[in-house]
Structure 1
Amino acid sequence: MQLELRHLEAVCRIADAGSLGRAAVRLGVSQPGLSAQLRRIERAAGGELFFRGREGVRPTPLGEFVLSRARRVLGEMDALAAGARAAAPHPSLRLGCILLVLVDGLIEQLEPVMAGREIAVSLEHSVTTLTRMLGAGRYDAIVYGEVNDHEVPLPEGTLARTLIPKEPFCVRMSATHRLADRPLISLADLAGETWMTLVEDDDGGPEALVDACAKAGFTPALRYRIADRKMHYDLIASGRAISLSQPTAPPAEGTVLRPLDGEPINGRIRLAWNRAAVPARDADLLYRAAALAYLANVGHNAFHRTWWEARTELHPVLDPVPHPHPHPDGDR
């Protein structure tokens, strides 16, 4: 087997994450699959690249050598991609997102205001991956979340704008759950339940859940991590787990969504973009489209609509659609 760029990226992700488990989540693959891939990479490289231990992994001398060369190669490829894109007469808009509810309607909102532009939207399961790819020029803009006090560090050369300053997370449970008829759920009443592990592990969500449950007097039992929404909802409907959810999430057969008493876990939704690749006008259009996509989902749940309408200070500012301004460098 010959080493390929995807192999070099996997090695770098493992080193950055410090463990195969965390790297697997950020790469969107299973841990056994990543372990098998690493063994194949090590055979091609001629030796072990990482020392394995209880606390994670760390590079061997050979691993340090491969990592230094891999980062250089990947950096050159990123520079090549960015340079080619800058030379293109009509570049597409490359948007990276985590699995937020508003993503479903985002393209629909973008198409009318960016008619004629190719729009590529990709989903990632790691905010770290989003920001790294934004900094490397692989994404022009990203839409991501932060939970409670967590702040995602952004790469140099980017600008950011908060879309939704606060939304209180809810709990999704089976419609036959013992608490399903309650209009408001106390977190303490969920002790002993099996929780779905959050898909994103680097936006502050897992820490916020564990901390909130600790304050409620218990440690959550985290068992499943499922990115596919239908499988996620089917598991909950069967009564095998409960999960945190955005309050704008749509109904799902066999499940109910309930607010948590005291709003112990809150999210923010933010937009960041590469200022060299996204003109101010396009950033405004992207913000407006994301805001409209969010607002289209507010009515999914009556309790959130009531909460939202009472907090106008949180509403996104929707300025008129910006018009293009002639510029000798092509609106850049």
Structure 2
Amino acid sequence: MDSAALDRFEASRGRLASLAYRLLGSAADAEDAVQDTFLRWQAADRERVETPEAWLTKVVTRLCLDRLRSAQARHERAAGAWLPEPLLEGDPMLGPADTFEQRESVSLAVLTLMERLSPVERAVYVLREVFSYSHADIAGILDITRSASQQHLHRARIRVAAGRRGGGEVDPASARRVVEEFLAAATSGRTERLVALLTDDVTAVSDGAGLSRRLLRFRTRERVASYVRAGFKPTPAKRRLAGGSPALHIARVNGSPAVLAVVEDRVVGAVAFEVAGGRVAFLCGIAAADRLARLDETWRQREPGAPAIASW
């Protein structure tokens, strides 16, 4: 491959990675899809490629659809064990963040909701809502008609909207204050205050400290508050599992405030929050090491501020 062809691919790598991440919900799988796209580009008759960006977009999208349709992916998702892989703020794989729709599309809440979509609906939704492709372009990428693209988008919007909590975008500083208050209540045992900080339709999901084969799901304010209180209550067994007594930091993950549990610069757990109307509408707790690998790597490369709680 000549340097011009390599440069052309590298100029598209970031966009391809953020597209693949939104389609797959996994940074590791997204990186694999981008690498496979590079191999296809390397082997292609590039003289016949009229628009490299469109060609690369089509290839990476098709590869992602193949992964979503694979037997292994269907089994994991059907078994209820799937959660999106969280990314720390500033990770280039989060991609474009100029509009509310672009920022919302990488929230853990929306990535989880997109599991309700078929692979094609998911692709149409991401290509149209996030990357502003026309229906004509999407039809060419997916080999469907423009009418079919419009229908897929309509169904995808309805399904995502049906599961959304709250209204529009929340000021980051305000959302952080809610999470700080929530953390204080959770670690002090003030269950009544926790309940008051939750929306009426709150939902919580967790991978059970990385030990559960199926996701744990909680609904109603009382059940979520009870789960949170139990989860944030320190015990010797939890400290052994974490490898020490974690410091709790407030950071931003996938565009939302989050609490990170850190032991000796190693992220061992993350709880991401969605805030609506001054209360918590969605929580996502992740502790499985494979889901935290990229976030942990990014965290180690930064100089974190003072923790909210120095020793949990």
- TM-score class, shorter-chain normalisation, is under 0.3
TM-score by length of 2: 0.27
| Structure (1 or 2) with the larger CA radius of gyration | 1
TM-score by length of 1: 0.26
Higher strand share: 1
